[in-house]
Amino acid sequence: MTPDRLPEPGSPHGNGRGAVRSPILRTEGLTVRFGGLTALDNVTLAVPHGEIRAMIGPNGAGKSTFFNCVTGVLRPTSGRIVFDGEDITGLPPHRISQKAIARSYQITNILPGATVLENVRIAAQSRHHSWSLVRHHRAFVDVIDRARAVLDAVGLGDKEEELAANLSHGEQRHLEIGIALATEPKLLCLDEPTAGMSVSETRATVELIRQIATDLTILIVEHDMEVVMGLAHTITVLHYGEVVAEGTPAEIQANPRVQEVYLKT
Protein backbone atom coordinates (compact mmCIF):
# COMPACT_ATOMS: atom_id res chain seq x y z
CA MET A 1 0.00 0.00 0.00
CA THR A 2 1.67 3.19 -1.08
CA PRO A 3 1.36 6.09 1.26
CA ASP A 4 -0.59 8.64 -0.71
CA ARG A 5 -1.01 11.50 1.65
CA LEU A 6 2.02 11.97 3.79
CA PRO A 7 3.60 15.28 4.64
CA GLU A 8 7.36 15.73 4.24
CA PRO A 9 9.16 12.86 5.96
CA GLY A 10 10.01 13.68 9.53
CA SER A 11 8.52 17.13 9.63
CA PRO A 12 5.80 17.81 12.10
CA HIS A 13 2.82 19.95 11.20
CA GLY A 14 4.04 23.46 11.71
CA ASN A 15 1.73 26.06 13.10
CA GLY A 16 1.87 27.91 9.83
CA ARG A 17 4.01 30.70 11.12
CA GLY A 18 7.29 28.95 10.57
CA ALA A 19 8.11 28.47 14.24
CA VAL A 20 8.88 24.96 15.43
CA ARG A 21 7.10 23.99 18.63
CA SER A 22 8.59 21.79 21.29
CA PRO A 23 7.40 18.20 21.16
CA ILE A 24 4.03 17.45 22.67
CA LEU A 25 5.30 14.27 24.26
CA ARG A 26 8.79 13.63 25.46
CA THR A 27 10.21 10.77 27.49
CA GLU A 28 13.64 10.85 29.10
CA GLY A 29 15.32 7.62 30.05
CA LEU A 30 12.03 5.87 30.73
CA THR A 31 12.76 2.57 32.42
CA VAL A 32 10.41 -0.03 33.82
CA ARG A 33 11.64 -3.05 35.74
CA PHE A 34 9.50 -5.83 37.18
CA GLY A 35 11.77 -7.69 39.54
CA GLY A 36 14.39 -9.21 37.26
CA LEU A 37 12.65 -8.31 33.99
CA THR A 38 13.36 -5.03 32.22
CA ALA A 39 10.28 -4.14 30.21
CA LEU A 40 11.46 -0.69 29.14
CA ASP A 41 15.12 0.25 29.00
CA ASN A 42 16.08 3.90 28.92
CA VAL A 43 13.51 4.91 26.32
CA THR A 44 14.03 8.46 25.19
CA LEU A 45 11.89 9.85 22.44
CA ALA A 46 10.09 12.98 21.36
CA VAL A 47 6.85 13.25 19.43
CA PRO A 48 6.17 16.57 17.72
CA HIS A 49 2.73 18.16 17.69
CA GLY A 50 0.41 16.82 15.08
CA GLU A 51 2.51 13.81 14.17
CA ILE A 52 1.29 10.27 13.73
CA ARG A 53 3.92 8.23 15.53
CA ALA A 54 3.83 4.44 15.25
CA MET A 55 5.49 2.10 17.72
CA ILE A 56 6.30 -1.31 16.41
CA GLY A 57 8.26 -4.25 17.68
CA PRO A 58 7.86 -7.94 18.37
CA ASN A 59 5.59 -9.16 21.14
CA GLY A 60 7.00 -8.32 24.52
CA ALA A 61 9.04 -5.43 23.14
CA GLY A 62 7.54 -3.02 25.63
CA LYS A 63 4.96 -1.20 23.54
CA SER A 64 2.07 -1.81 25.92
CA THR A 65 4.30 -1.03 28.86
CA PHE A 66 5.15 2.29 27.25
CA PHE A 67 1.48 3.04 26.76
CA ASN A 68 0.75 2.09 30.34
CA CYS A 69 3.38 4.52 31.57
CA VAL A 70 2.13 7.39 29.46
CA THR A 71 -1.47 6.79 30.52
CA GLY A 72 -0.69 6.50 34.22
CA VAL A 73 -1.51 2.84 34.67
CA LEU A 74 2.08 1.99 35.49
CA ARG A 75 4.64 3.95 37.41
CA PRO A 76 8.06 3.82 35.75
CA THR A 77 11.03 2.66 37.76
CA SER A 78 12.99 5.66 36.55
CA GLY A 79 12.86 8.36 33.93
CA ARG A 80 10.44 11.15 33.10
CA ILE A 81 7.47 11.70 30.89
CA VAL A 82 6.85 15.27 29.83
CA PHE A 83 3.61 16.23 28.12
CA ASP A 84 3.15 19.68 26.65
CA GLY A 85 5.94 20.97 28.86
CA GLU A 86 4.56 19.41 32.05
CA ASP A 87 6.03 16.47 33.97
CA ILE A 88 3.27 13.88 34.13
CA THR A 89 5.35 10.96 35.41
CA GLY A 90 3.43 8.84 37.88
CA LEU A 91 0.15 10.69 37.67
CA PRO A 92 -2.90 8.45 38.13
CA PRO A 93 -5.02 7.57 35.08
CA HIS A 94 -7.81 10.03 35.73
CA ARG A 95 -5.40 12.93 36.06
CA ILE A 96 -3.66 11.90 32.84
CA SER A 97 -7.01 11.94 31.12
CA GLN A 98 -7.67 15.43 32.46
CA LYS A 99 -4.38 16.54 30.91
CA ALA A 100 -5.91 15.61 27.52
CA ILE A 101 -4.25 12.28 26.89
CA ALA A 102 -6.66 9.55 25.82
CA ARG A 103 -6.21 5.91 25.03
CA SER A 104 -7.99 3.15 23.20
CA TYR A 105 -7.34 -0.46 24.12
CA GLN A 106 -6.07 -3.52 22.34
CA ILE A 107 -8.76 -5.67 23.91
CA THR A 108 -12.05 -3.87 23.52
CA ASN A 109 -12.75 -2.07 26.75
CA ILE A 110 -16.19 -0.48 26.44
CA LEU A 111 -19.28 -0.34 28.66
CA PRO A 112 -21.10 -3.39 27.33
CA GLY A 113 -24.42 -2.87 29.08
CA ALA A 114 -24.79 0.74 28.02
CA THR A 115 -25.97 2.13 24.71
CA VAL A 116 -23.50 3.31 22.10
CA LEU A 117 -24.48 6.90 22.78
CA GLU A 118 -24.03 6.50 26.51
CA ASN A 119 -20.57 5.00 26.07
CA VAL A 120 -19.43 8.13 24.33
CA ARG A 121 -21.58 10.57 26.29
CA ILE A 122 -20.10 9.54 29.63
CA ALA A 123 -16.63 10.09 28.20
CA ALA A 124 -17.64 13.52 26.94
CA GLN A 125 -19.24 14.30 30.29
CA SER A 126 -15.94 13.84 32.08
CA ARG A 127 -14.88 17.26 30.85
CA HIS A 128 -17.77 19.05 32.54
CA HIS A 129 -20.82 18.81 34.82
CA SER A 130 -19.98 15.39 36.19
CA TRP A 131 -20.75 16.21 39.83
CA SER A 132 -24.29 17.35 39.29
CA LEU A 133 -26.61 15.27 41.43
CA VAL A 134 -29.91 16.96 40.85
CA ARG A 135 -30.37 17.58 37.19
CA HIS A 136 -31.19 14.90 34.67
CA HIS A 137 -28.19 14.02 32.54
CA ARG A 138 -30.19 14.75 29.42
CA ALA A 139 -30.44 18.37 30.45
CA PHE A 140 -26.81 18.83 29.51
CA VAL A 141 -27.35 19.14 25.79
CA ASP A 142 -23.80 20.28 25.06
CA VAL A 143 -22.46 16.96 26.31
CA ILE A 144 -24.95 14.99 24.22
CA ASP A 145 -24.18 17.07 21.13
CA ARG A 146 -20.48 16.45 21.51
CA ALA A 147 -21.15 12.73 21.91
CA ARG A 148 -23.24 12.67 18.75
CA ALA A 149 -20.53 14.51 16.84
CA VAL A 150 -17.98 11.92 17.90
CA LEU A 151 -20.31 9.08 16.94
CA ASP A 152 -20.71 10.62 13.48
CA ALA A 153 -16.95 10.97 13.18
CA VAL A 154 -16.39 7.26 13.91
CA GLY A 155 -19.25 6.18 11.69
CA LEU A 156 -21.64 5.00 14.40
CA GLY A 157 -24.10 7.88 14.12
CA ASP A 158 -27.00 5.62 13.22
CA LYS A 159 -26.40 3.16 16.06
CA GLU A 160 -26.98 5.47 18.99
CA GLU A 161 -29.55 3.40 20.84
CA GLU A 162 -27.91 0.06 20.17
CA LEU A 163 -26.46 -1.77 23.17
CA ALA A 164 -22.69 -1.67 22.89
CA ALA A 165 -22.48 -5.40 23.50
CA ASN A 166 -24.52 -6.03 20.34
CA LEU A 167 -22.17 -4.27 17.95
CA SER A 168 -19.97 -6.15 15.53
CA HIS A 169 -16.30 -6.42 16.36
CA GLY A 170 -15.29 -3.71 13.92
CA GLU A 171 -18.01 -1.38 15.21
CA GLN A 172 -16.88 -1.98 18.76
CA ARG A 173 -13.32 -1.09 17.82
CA HIS A 174 -14.62 2.17 16.39
CA LEU A 175 -16.62 2.79 19.54
CA GLU A 176 -13.40 2.14 21.43
CA ILE A 177 -11.76 4.99 19.54
CA GLY A 178 -14.84 7.16 19.91
CA ILE A 179 -14.78 6.90 23.70
CA ALA A 180 -11.21 8.12 23.71
CA LEU A 181 -12.01 10.91 21.23
CA ALA A 182 -14.93 12.17 23.27
CA THR A 183 -12.59 13.22 26.05
CA GLU A 184 -11.20 15.94 23.77
CA PRO A 185 -7.59 14.76 23.84
CA LYS A 186 -4.53 16.45 22.45
CA LEU A 187 -2.68 13.14 22.37
CA LEU A 188 -4.51 9.99 21.36
CA CYS A 189 -2.87 6.64 22.09
CA LEU A 190 -4.28 3.86 19.96
CA ASP A 191 -3.40 0.33 21.02
CA GLU A 192 -3.72 -1.97 18.02
CA PRO A 193 -6.91 -0.34 16.74
CA THR A 194 -7.25 -2.75 13.82
CA ALA A 195 -6.83 -5.88 15.92
CA GLY A 196 -9.06 -8.64 14.66
CA MET A 197 -10.41 -6.65 11.75
CA SER A 198 -11.11 -7.73 8.20
CA VAL A 199 -9.38 -6.01 5.28
CA SER A 200 -12.28 -3.67 4.59
CA GLU A 201 -12.73 -2.85 8.26
CA THR A 202 -9.02 -2.09 8.48
CA ARG A 203 -9.22 0.29 5.53
CA ALA A 204 -12.16 2.09 7.11
CA THR A 205 -10.28 2.42 10.36
CA VAL A 206 -7.18 3.79 8.64
CA GLU A 207 -9.36 6.38 6.93
CA LEU A 208 -10.91 7.26 10.26
CA ILE A 209 -7.54 7.72 11.90
CA ARG A 210 -6.38 9.92 9.04
CA GLN A 211 -9.39 12.16 9.51
CA ILE A 212 -9.06 12.58 13.23
CA ALA A 213 -5.30 13.05 12.94
CA THR A 214 -5.74 16.50 11.52
CA ASP A 215 -6.41 18.02 14.94
CA LEU A 216 -4.43 15.79 17.24
CA THR A 217 -1.19 13.99 17.82
CA ILE A 218 -1.49 10.24 17.53
CA LEU A 219 0.61 7.50 19.04
CA ILE A 220 -0.26 4.15 17.57
CA VAL A 221 0.85 0.62 18.33
CA GLU A 222 0.21 -1.72 15.47
CA HIS A 223 1.20 -5.10 14.13
CA ASP A 224 -0.33 -4.60 10.70
CA MET A 225 2.65 -3.27 8.72
CA GLU A 226 0.57 -1.93 5.86
CA VAL A 227 -1.37 0.23 8.31
CA VAL A 228 1.81 1.44 9.92
CA MET A 229 3.60 2.25 6.70
CA GLY A 230 0.57 4.00 5.30
CA LEU A 231 -0.28 6.14 8.29
CA ALA A 232 2.85 7.00 10.20
CA HIS A 233 5.05 10.04 9.80
CA THR A 234 7.67 8.53 12.04
CA ILE A 235 8.15 5.01 13.36
CA THR A 236 9.86 4.02 16.59
CA VAL A 237 10.99 0.42 16.76
CA LEU A 238 11.24 -1.27 20.15
CA HIS A 239 12.96 -4.53 20.98
CA TYR A 240 13.40 -5.92 24.47
CA GLY A 241 12.39 -2.55 25.86
CA GLU A 242 14.99 -0.55 23.97
CA VAL A 243 14.59 1.84 21.09
CA VAL A 244 16.31 0.08 18.25
CA ALA A 245 15.54 2.47 15.40
CA GLU A 246 13.56 5.57 14.64
CA GLY A 247 12.74 7.22 11.33
CA THR A 248 10.38 7.57 8.43
CA PRO A 249 8.66 4.49 7.05
CA ALA A 250 11.10 4.40 4.15
CA GLU A 251 14.11 4.64 6.45
CA ILE A 252 12.75 1.92 8.73
CA GLN A 253 12.00 -0.40 5.85
CA ALA A 254 15.55 -0.03 4.63
CA ASN A 255 17.14 -0.41 8.06
CA PRO A 256 18.92 -3.79 8.25
CA ARG A 257 18.84 -3.92 12.04
CA VAL A 258 15.07 -3.58 11.97
CA GLN A 259 14.75 -6.24 9.33
CA GLU A 260 16.86 -8.51 11.43
CA VAL A 261 14.77 -7.85 14.51
CA TYR A 262 11.35 -7.95 13.19
CA LEU A 263 10.12 -6.70 9.87
CA LYS A 264 8.34 -9.00 7.47
CA THR A 265 7.10 -7.01 4.52
* Contact map string, positions 21 to 60, toward another protein, x by CB under 8 A: -------------xx-------------------------
Q: How far is CA 100 from CA 10, 39, 181, 194, 227, in A?
A: 24, 26, 10, 23, 25
Interface mask toward another protein for 148-187; x: CB under 8 A: -------------------------------xx-xx----
Residue among 114, 149, 153, 263 that touches another protein (CB under 8 A) = 114
Q: Does 78 bind another protein (CB under 8 A)?
A: no
Indicate the residue among 21 and 127 with the shorter CB distance to another protein: 127
Confirm or reject binding of residue 86 to another protein (CB under 8 A). Answer: no
Does 130 interact with another protein (rule: CB under 8 A)? yes
Cα–Cα distance, 117 to 186 (Å, whole number): 22
Per rule CB under 8 A, count of chain residues that contact another protein: 40
- Specify the stretch interacting with another protein by CB under 8 A; choose among 128-136, 208-216, 218-226, 247-255: 128-136
Query: Is residue 62 exposed (0-12), middle (13-18) or buried (19+ Cβ within 10 Å)?
Result: buried
Please give the helix or strand (H or E) that residue 41 lies within, else none. Answer: strand 37-47
* Separation between Cα atoms, residue 181 and residue 125, nearest integer Å: 12
**Distance in Å, CB of 129 to another protein, minimum:** 5
Smallest distance from another protein to CB 16, Å:
30
Cβ(215)–Cβ(24) below 8 Å: no
DSSP codes joined into one string, 53-102: EEEE-STTSSHHHHHHHHTTSS--SEEEEEETTEE-TT--HHHHHHTTEE
Q: Does position 217 bind another protein by CB under 8 A? A: no
143 close to 121: Cβ distance less than 8 angstroms? yes
Name the packing angle between helices 169-181 and 116-125 (round to 10°).
Answer: 20
Q: Which residues bind another protein (CB under 8 A)?
A: 34-35, 71, 73, 92-94, 97-98, 102-103, 105, 109-114, 118, 121-123, 125-127, 129-137, 140, 143, 179-180, 182-183
